[in-house]
Chains A and B, each alone.
Chain A
Amino acid sequence: MWHRDSDRFRLFTRRALMLGAGKGVLLTGLAARMYYLQVLESDRYQTLADENRISHRLLPPPRGLVTDRFGAPLAINRQNYHIMIVREQTPDVRRTLEILDQIIELGPDTIERVERDVERRRSFVPVTVRDNLTWDEVARVGVNAPDLPGLIIDAGRSRDYPEGPHLAHTLGYVAAVSEKELTGDPLLELPGFTIGKSGVEKVYDLALRGTAGTSQVEVNALGRVIRELEREEGDSGNTVVMTLDLDLQRYANQRLSDKESASAVVMDIHNGEVLALASHPTYDPNAFTNGISHKLWNSLINNPYAPLSNKAVNGTYAPGSTFKMCVALAGLEAGIISPHQKFFCNGHLDLGNARFHCWKRGGHGWMNMHDSIKHSCDVYYYEISQKIGIDRIAAMARKLGLGEDTGIDLPNERSGLIPTKDWKEIQLGKRWQGGETLIASIGQGYVLATPLQLCTMTARLASGKAVRPHLTRDNVTPEGVTSRQAEEFPELQVNRANLARIRDAMNGVTNELRGTGHRARISIKGMEMAGKSGTSQVRRITMRERQTTGVLDNDVLPWKYRDHALFVAFAPVENPRYACAVVVEHGGGGSSVAGPIVRDLLQKAQELQSARQGISAADLPNSASLRRDPSQTDQDEG
């Protein structure tokens, strides 16, 4: 019996050892797997664990400021207080909201919305109750904080335009990013982030935007933030200093405010700095920052005077008689006319079967170049334009900045139109007619220009240089702001004596008796301006109208059939410094309606300038970029 048992034991021992060996193999397998996971693959899993644990959050940078040339704030960031509720920190959401409702008005709709939002989010996620709290409301909530568990007051930033409607068109506005504007920049996907939608805010959006900071936070599996691991503050956007003079800008807006629809530009003829750019009517860009209401938007869109449009750069008008300088200068330059050569105006000129009328029914009599501008005689231009030809006129117009973008730093600039024979063949498929040259010579027909282009043209006539307008003191690029190098605009390839003759004729318009703009002259000595009026027709005057009622007066016509009133000028006559253009849509006569506005703006610009003579360069922003303007020295001497 014992030997049997020992058989059994030997078998047991053998089997047990085999089993033990099997277990040893399995345990070794576990060890090998552990080594594989924790040593060989450790880096990969380390990364995955960090991805689980660490959440990167973007910190939106403060948007750059925009100031006028003297540092006055035009676009700033305002503290925007909003109140939020955290479900898990309040015992009864509804009760807390009701108490809050008694402190600051919420209304049943808001309470209902918040309750719904709170239900949908995780219990630790704050839900916004109300936006844009006044400081008074913030204080009241703060005092009652013990009764309001789970409520947080948070300060955000929102864009604010202290000047409101005064600079709406130039500055533009910011608003929430739309689907189409997403570029993959994660900053744009942040809730509540706004970008420039028009004006300077749009053109310099990247420079103003700044770079985002990041915050690394540790989160748990539910997404709750446990702690902040690392914080890197972003860089706020660059401050953009405009060339605008806020005082002049305000004055321009005020001066246009009694017109239905008008625009004005004032610029420095030497360096192209735009001092004022006004378009009327206007709107309040602050309305866009926190989302504009449907009602307000519709009223802006449906307004016949187009308040959203910046007419100084987006509006194109037949320049009318303000175009005559181009024609006269083209004639002088081509040697086709001499300054003293006279043409007779009997009130009309016949070409083929067509009769072309002068604005003065009886005619002007014998006219030389100087008088033709001073009196704005149409027949003189009918005569000389036939000799000069449309292509020479167009070339001169382009030289003076018409028919092409001025390059102003604003979006959607219109380039107007200067017709040529080729243009008509290609665009309309028709041959150029001789009569069309006549119509073009008085700035009608196909010819179109923006107020900014007309101002640029005037600046070029006054300076003799190919000046281009711009709106910022410095070079602003997405990479940052660098001071603008003194910009030497090239000389216009025009005989200086001819230019002087044109300027002298413009002086005649305002400063000589019986000049068309005499009544709009500046009578302060040393500040006199030289200009040119334009009254451009927007309807066809039929032969029948002339014969029966005579040309209808603007007052009896509906607004949209009235003439556009235009006026361009530079000042002072001696050593010019400023150029100005004003267009009053359907305003009537150029010299009577637009002229006085130009006079007031140019006078104001000069008065402001002499008032500021005392301010030293060091007081100005970005003084490095400032330079003594040669004309300013001239002014001192003059």
Chain B
Amino acid sequence: MAGSRYRIGEDPDYVPIGRRLLLLNWTLVLLIAALSGIGFAMLYSAANGSLQPWAERQMVRFAIGAALMIIIAVTDIRIWLKLAYFSYFVALILLIAVEIKGDIGMGAQRWINLGFFQLQPSELMKISLVLALARYFHGLTAEDVGRITLLIPPLLMIAAPSALVLRQPDLGTTLLLIAGGGVIFWLAGVRIWKFALVLGSALAAIPIGWQFLREYQKNRVLTFLNPENDPLGAGYHITQSKIALGSGGLFGKGFMLGSQSHLNFLPEKQTDFIFTMLGEEFGLVGGMALLGLYALVITYGYVIALRCQNQFGRLVAIGVTSTFFLYVFINIAMVMGLIPVVGVPLPLVSYGGTVMMTILVSFGLLMSVSIHRDIRISRQGNDDGRS
């Protein structure tokens, strides 16, 4: 099998570890560190000028996550290609496991306690789904993509975890999974009319799907449509968030001086509403700067994808970049009252270990694509046949 071909020294694409570290996209690492640094500062402010209880733990997580990211980055892209389906199935089995555990009577439980670490299978799935779909479409020619029968397996690959996550219930992650999967379909060249068809039937299914939403999810949507309707209840979050942002003005109220955040008018300021706090304390200038950093990171993802010589790498690069973009967009649009409140954190900035890990692991993959961009991989998943 292919494994026999990977003898060290014989692989023409083999790059020594030291060289790979040099090839690592250090600018991107710097951008990621800068975003995380802003996160530390905001968490420090959220705790009224204290490293406890958030900033310090977030730094530790970042340190661990960053190390993991670099390890993943310097690992040969072909290994990730080989592991793609395996990690998908592991993630799927874990999702089923939490589902069963949840049915036994733990309520809406989304994680598995491994003793030292609480693993969220849905987070693992966000990466694994991108890898698995990328691997699948890597193996299809442009003509193959046009055949509907060949599109059914990847559709099921999206549908299975989405259904499980929706049952948890976690609407935000479900949307991220569907959107992330859709992006791979789009990049693989699936015809636009097919997208239109799916989108149209999805819209038609909204009234049916509405029935399956939990009461709090319905309330969030209704509240989004008219936040002033219920200013002390569910609409409170959005209203207070808009007040905080708006009152920040052009230059903000100053570091640690946000009245809305520090007097607790703003809920969840260290997690989902951390962008609001930044906007209140640093104003439009601070918010634009953060948005600019995010745009730069996303652009880097595109540059890496377009310079990559293999389809798997390209799909993975845009796939993880798109997931990252979706996090950013959904979170910021939510806190500014553009979309309903769904529990999506601001990547790298919000407090939370799992999301930090997911994002850093996916950036590890992105950098792995970058380092190994010149490796050509055959559709079957082994070397391209030059040898």
Chain A residues with a Cβ under 8 A of chain B: 4-5, 7-9, 11-13, 15-16, 19-20, 23-24, 26-27, 29-31, 33-35, 37-39, 41-42, 44-46, 48-50, 52-53, 218-222, 226
**CA–CA, A340 to B288, complex, Å?**
110
Q: How extensive is the interface on chain B, given as a class?
A: 35 or more
Closest chain-A Cβ to B268's Cβ sits at a distance in Å of: 13
- With A and B bound together, what is the CA distance between A219 and B279 in angstroms? 21
Question: Do residues A52 and B248 form an inter-chain contact, with CB atoms below 8 A?
Answer: no
List the A side residues contacting B248 at CB < 8 Å.
Answer: 38, 42
Task: Name B's A-contacting residues (CB within 8 A).
Answer: 141-142, 183, 186-189, 240, 242-250, 259-260, 263-265, 279, 283-284, 287-288, 291, 294-295, 298-299, 302, 305-306, 311, 314-315, 318, 322, 325, 329, 332-333, 336, 338
Q: Are A42 and B250 closer than 8 Å at their CB atoms?
A: yes
In the assembled complex, the Cα of A23 lies from the Cα of B333 at a distance in Å of 13
| Residues in chain A near residue B189, CB distance under 8 A | 8, 11-12, 15
- CB < 8 Å: which of B246, B299, B314 contacts A12? B314
Interface on chain A toward B: helix, strand, loop, or mixed SS? Answer: helix
Is the pair B302, A20 in contact by a Cβ cutoff of 8 Å? yes
Chain A residues, Cβ within 8 Å of B142: 4, 7-8, 11
- Known contacts A16-B306, A34-B336, A45-B246; 7 further A-B pairs (Cβ under 8 A): A12-B188, A19-B186, A34-B245, A35-B284, A42-B248, A49-B244, A49-B259
Would B246 and A220 count as touching, CB distance under 8 A?
A: no
A53 touches B263 (CB 8 A): yes
Q: CA separation between A53 and B183, bound complex, in Å?
A: 44
- Residues of B within 8 Å of A39, CB to CB, are 249-250, 284
CA distance A220 to B322 in the complex (A): 39
- CB-defined contacts of B322 to chain A, threshold 8 Å: 19, 23
| Other-chain contact of A218, B187, B263, B298, B305 (Cβ < 8 Å) | B263
A-B contacts, 26 of them at CB < 8 A, read: A9-B314, A12-B314, A16-B187, A16-B306, A20-B299, A29-B333, A30-B329, A30-B332, A30-B338, A34-B288, A38-B245, A38-B246, A38-B279, A38-B283, A38-B287, A42-B250, A46-B246, A48-B246, A48-B247, A49-B265, A52-B240, A53-B260, A53-B265, A220-B264, A220-B265, A221-B265
In the complex the two chains form, what is the Cα distance from A11 to B189 in whole Å? 6
Q: Is the CB of A52 within 8 A of B259?
A: yes
With both chains docked as a complex, state the minimum distance between the C-beta of B251 and any C-beta of chain A, in angstroms: 10
- Interface contact B264-A221, CB-CB below 8 Å: yes
In this complex, what residue of B is CB-closest to A20?
B302
By DSSP majority rule, is chain B's interface helix, strand, loop, or mixed? Answer: helix
A358 to B383, CA, bound (A): 145
The answer to whether A49 touches B288, judged by C-beta atoms less than 8 angstroms apart, is: no
B265 touches A42 (CB 8 A): no
Residues of A within 8 A of B295 (CB): 24, 27
User: Contacts of A31 on B, CB cut-off 8 Å?
Assistant: 288, 291
Residue of A nearest to B259 (CB): A53
How far apart are B382's CB and chain A's nearest CB, in angstroms?
Answer: 14
The residue in chain A whose Cβ has the minimal distance to the Cβ of B318 is A16
Q: Please determine whether B263 and A226 come into contact, CB atoms closer than 8 angstroms.
A: yes
Closest B residue by C-beta to A14: B189
CA distance A433 to B64 in the complex (A): 115
B318–A41 contact, CB under 8 A? no
Q: Which residues of the other chain, B, contact A220 by a CB distance below 8 angstroms?
A: 263-265
Nearest residue, chain B, Cβ from A222 = B264
5 cross-chain pairs, A with B, having the tightest CB-CB distances, nearest first: A45-B246, A49-B247, A220-B263, A221-B264, A38-B284
Contacts of B318 in A (CB 8 A): 16, 19
Cross-chain contact B183 with A19 (CB below 8 angstroms):
yes
